[in-house]
Structure 1
């Protein structure tokens, strides 16, 4: 399994679990979570259909336990991040990678 397949497998599995959990909720609960639902769909589409994802993004994503949840948490904490286009998702992930690199360097 190549790195693209590994990253997609993680995102796809997490997306399907999330979708199943959401579909078991009442309508009002679903409405309250609509932005998160949209976010998960955008991330899934990005990894499913984007054939130009850089290897560093794929390797980073494949190494995360729950990549979409981690991206969501980072997105919520960083108001300047967006996720409505593939370019914005790429920028979000690169920002996450830089933040993690900064944390590692700061801890030395």
Structure 2
């Protein structure tokens, strides 16, 4: 349970959606309960992630723009989030289209709704 409390502050403040989204576009945070799951999704309208890199975003030290100085981070935030979520029988995923933005989401059994 303590690990989940560490996870929630990472989404959305340290989420790439917040860092990369153009300032004039809204970032949408949605929380739902669906089929016994608690689900949180963060959607941006930013640069998106190329399809060939999407399968790696939850890997340790992976950075979509590895040579860029415009985006901070070591490539650990999403890896850490994924580890915490998986330890609590949850799932994490990404839907993205390059040039159109991304949705990062996670779901957990809603038996944990008391966090």
Q: Does the alignment reach a TM-score above 0.5?
A: no
TM (norm. structure 1) is 0.26
TM (norm. structure 2) is 0.25
Bigger proportion of residues as helix: 1
